Amino acid sequence: MILMAVLLVCGVLPKEGAAQERVRVLVWPFEIFAQRDLGYLKTRIPEVIENHLREEGAVIIEPAQSLESAKTPSPERVREVGIENRADYVILGSLTWVGKKFSLDARMIDPYGTEPVRTFYVEGDSIENLPSIVRDLTRDFALRLFKRERVVEVRIEGNDRIEDDAVRGIIDTAPGETYTPKSLSDDIKAIYNMGYFDDIRVEAEDRRGGKSVIFHVREKPTIRNIIILGNRVFDDEEIRENLSIATGAIVNVFAIQNNIQRIETLYKEKNYHNVEVTYDLQSQENNQADLVFTVDEGEKVRVEEISFKGNDAYTDKRLKKLMNTSERGFWSWLTSAGDLDREDLEQDIGKIGAFYHNTGYIDARVSDPIIEYKAEDIFITIKVEEGLRYEVGKVDIESVEDELIRPEAEMMRIIGIDEEAYYNQERVRNDVLALTDIYGNVGYANAKILPKREKSEDGQSVDITYSIEKGDPVYIEKILITGNIKTRDKVIRRQLKVLEQDLFRGGDLKRSIRNLYRLDYFEDVQVNTLPGSAGDQKVLKIDVTEKPTGTFSFGGGYSSVENLFAMAAISQRNLFGRGQILQLKAEVGGTTSRYTLSFTEPWLFDMPLSAGFDFYNWERDYNTYDKESQGGGVRFGYPVFDYTRIYLAYSYDIGDITNIDYDEASSLVKQMEGENVTSSIATTLRYDSRDRVFNPTEGSDHSISVEYAGLGGDIAFTKYLGELGQYVPLFWGTVGFLHGKAGYVADTEDGLLPDYERFYLGGINSMRGFDWRDISAYDENGDKIGGNKFLQFNLEYLIPLIREAGIVGVLFYDTGNVYNDDDSMDLSNLRESAGFGFRWYSPMGPIRIENGYILDPEADESSSGKWEFTMGGAF
C-alpha cells in the first residue's frame, strides 16, 4: 500500500530528479565583519551551506585552487572562477555582527550571465541561532536553484474518527515549507505507521504562490464484536481474558496475528499441540467489523512414551518414579496422566540428576529431553551419562587461615557425609550449611566452606575435605527497617537479638525473625544484607509487611447449662503502633453475662517488663444460686531465661451470691450467701518457644502457676495449675500437637473455696464433644460443683489443606476428667472424645469449626457428634 502511494506521488508530481542532479554549485568563502575574532566562520558557513545543498541534491564543486576571501571579489573574478570549475551557480556572501545582532547577505550568480544576480538577506540575534538561520538561507537557495515552490496549503480528507491535527502532527509538509516529492513520500509512510488507515493517497494542486497538498485517507474499521467459534476446551471468557485486543479497537493485522498466537499458546499449555486458529473480518455498518476467531482444537496430545538412553544402574521404571511427568494410561481422560508441562519436565530432569549425584554417581549428566510430536502422541527421550559410582573415602576438615573455631572432633561430629556408603551431594550440601551456621553464629558471616573432592586412582572412592576460609569478622554497621507504616521502629528493634556495631551472628538473626513473627503484627518479614562502608561491615535491611492487628471476634455454642451462648470481643494488639494491647470483651449466654476491659504495656519504661490491668463485671445464674461480681487486677511480667517469662498478678473481686435455692443448694453455697471478697496474688512461670502465636508449626508452650487467695477478704484457697504444649513438625508439612493440663485447688482454714473457683471440663477449649462445663464433680444433692483437681490431655494432627489461604484440617483426640476431694485421680476412668474440624487462619483472625464425638457416652449423653465454632474478624 505504501509503495502504491509513493508511485502515485511520483506520477502526479513533476520529474525533478534529473534536473536536481545537473545543478553544480560553487560556494565562495564568506567575508566576516565583526569586532571579535570570528574568522573561523568564513569557511564554516560555506561548509554548512554545502552540506545542506548536498542533501537537496546539488553537486558541490571543489575549486581547482584556493579562493581569496580577504576582500569581496569582482563580478568578473566570480564569473571567471565559475566557468573554470564548470559551475552552474556561484554563491558568495558576508556575515556582519554588530552588538548582539548579526546579518547574512548573499548573492547567487550565474557565471554565464543568462540569469540575473539574485540577492538574499537574513538576520538573527544570538550565536546559538546561527545554524538555523544558515539553514533557512540554504532553503531559499534551493528554491531558486531547483525551481521549487512553497506549500501554501495542506488538507486532510476522508478521516472521520482521527482528527486532522493528529495527522498534521506527524508529517513534515506544512504551509511555508518547500514542496518536494521526497517529503511527501516520507509523510505517507508516517501516516501509514500511525496504524489508523489502510489507504493513503496524495494530490498536489497549483495555487497562487505555490502548491496545495491534499492527503486522502481511508480509515481502518473498528472492531464491533469479537466472536470465537469452535472452542470446547476453553469457554469464550477464558479465551478473551488472554487477548490483548478488545471491542472498539482499530483493526490491526499484526495485532490479530499476535492474538492468534496467544490463543494457540493457551491450548498448547493444555497439550492441544495440533490447534489451528484462523480469523475473518466481517464488515458491518459505520466502518465497523466483527472479528471472528475460528479454533480447530484438534485432539489432546499426551505423552505416549518416556524412554531413557545410557542408564545401566537404574531401570527406566525406577527413574520414571522420580518424575511428575508420566505416560498416558487408561484413566488419562479423567486424570492428568500423560499431560506435558514444560516446567514439570525441566524439574524432572533436575530430580533425576540429583538422584544420581546423591547415590554416588558424581559425574552423572542428564541431557535436555528430546520431545517428538507424532499425530496425537508425544515421545520423550532422556539421555543419561552415568559415569562411575564412588564410595565415600576419607572425610576431613581443614582451616585455610588458622585453627578451627571449635575442636576438630566436635566439628567432625557435625559432618554427616561419613555416615553414607556412597557419595551423596545433598548430604555434602547440608554439611556445608551446618558448618556455615557455626561460623556465622560467631560473627564470620563471610566464611567460605568449600568441599574438595579427590577421587581415588582406582576410581572407586572419593575423599572429601571441607576447606574453611573464615575471613574477617563481620559487624552490623546499620539496621534499616522498612515497610512499617503503623508499628514504630522501636517496637521492632526491641525484638531484635542483633545490634548495630555488634558482630553479625546468624543464629541471633534467625531468633530475631522468629520474635517478629511471634508478635503477630506482620504477614511477612524479609531480611536482606547489603554491603557496608567496608568489607567487614554489613547493612541489615528488615522489610516487614504489616497486617491488621485490630480484631472483632465472636463465637458461640450450645450447652445444657447455657443453651445458646455468644462471645464478642474488640481488641487492638498494637495500639498506636506502640505494641500495647487493649481489649473489650463481652460474653452473653442463657445464664451468663460477662464484660471485661484489659490493657497491657509489654515494655514498661522501655524495659522488657510487661504491665497491665483488668476490670470486669460478671453475672452468672447457676443451678442453685446467682452470682454477680465486679473486680479487677494488675499484672507484671519479666523475662528470666530464653523464651521464659515470670508473671506476678494481684486481683480483687467482690462477689454477691443471691437467689439461693435452699432445697437444692449445697451447704457450701448456702454459706456463701451475700457479698464475698476475694483478694489474691498469683505467679506464673511460662516457657513459650512457638514460631507463631497462631498456626504454629514448631516449638513449645509450657507453664506452671500458683495462686493464693486470702490476703484479706472472705475467700481463701491455693490453686496450682500446670500445662504442657508441644508442636512437632511431621511429614508433608503436617504438624502434631501434644497438650496436657492439670490443676489442684484447696481451701485454707481462713476462708471458703467457692464453686466458681473449682474445675470443670467440656467445650471447644478443653473436651470437645461434651457440653460446656459438662464434666464435673457432684455434691451430696447430685448438683455439679466442679472438682478440686482435674486432668486433661489433647492430641491433634494438623493438616494444611490450602496452605496459601491458611486453611488447616484437624483430627483430634481429647481425654480427661474432674475429681473431688475424696476421689483419687484414676487414669482408668478418664472421659474420651475424638473428632475432626477445620481452622482458617484468615486475615480476619482465626476461625475454628470442630465436631467432637463422645467415645464413652453415659446414659444421658449422645455419641452422634457435637459441632462448635469460634470466629474472628479484623478492622
Q: H or E element: which one contains 102? A: strand 101-109
Three-state DSSP class for residue 4 = helix
What region, left, alpha or beta, does residue 458 occupy, with left being phi > 0 and alpha being psi -120 to 50 degrees?
A: alpha
Chain center to CA of 856:
50
Chain center to CA of 145:
66
Supply φ then ψ for residue 654, to 5 degrees: -115, 110
Identify the CA nearest to 355 among candidates 379, 306, 325, 389.
Answer: 389
Task: Please list the rounded mean pLDDT of every run of 10 residues in the chain (875 residues).
Answer: 35 38 84 85 89 84 71 83 88 88 90 84 86 86 77 87 87 83 84 86 84 89 91 90 88 90 89 90 88 90 91 93 87 74 90 94 93 87 94 90 84 89 93 91 89 87 92 91 91 90 88 88 90 88 89 60 68 89 86 88 91 91 81 94 93 89 73 87 95 86 95 90 96 94 88 84 90 81 82 96 87 95 84 93 74 89 81 46
* pLDDT score, position 555: 63
Cell numbers linked to 252: 490491526
| Dist. CA 737–CA 727, nearest whole Å | 5
CA distances from 492 to 51, 306, 521, 834 (A): 69, 54, 10, 41
* pLDDT score, position 556: 61
* Burial degree of 65 (CB within 10 A; 0-12, 13-18, 19+): exposed
DSSP 578-592: TTEEEEEEEEEESSE
* pLDDT score, position 742: 96
37 CB contacts (<8 Å, ≥6 apart)? none
**Would the pTM of this model clear 0.85, i.e. be above it?**
no
What region, left, alpha or beta, does residue 453 occupy, with left being phi > 0 and alpha being psi -120 to 50 degrees?
A: beta
DSSP state of 55: H
Beta-carbon count within 10 A of 619 CB: 16
Cell numbers linked to 87: 559551475
Long-range contacts of 66-72 (CB under 8 A, 24+ apart): 67/28, 67/29, 69/28, 69/29, 69/30, 69/31, 69/42, 71/31, 72/31
CA distances from 494 to 434, 441, 497, 515 (A): 28, 20, 8, 10
Let me know: does 450 contact 511? Beta carbons within 8 Å.
no
Strand ranges for 368-490 from DSSP E: 370-374, 377-385, 391-399, 448-455, 461-469, 475-482
Identify the CA nearest to 239 among candidates 211, 195, 270.
Answer: 270
Cell numbers linked to 403: 585453627
* pLDDT score, position 216: 92
CA distances from 586 to 270, 580, 617, 644, 709 (A): 54, 20, 10, 31, 26
CA distances from 356 to 359, 364, 386, 387, 430 (A): 5, 6, 8, 10, 17
* pLDDT score, position 382: 95
CA distances from 670 to 320, 400, 408, 749 (A): 78, 83, 74, 18
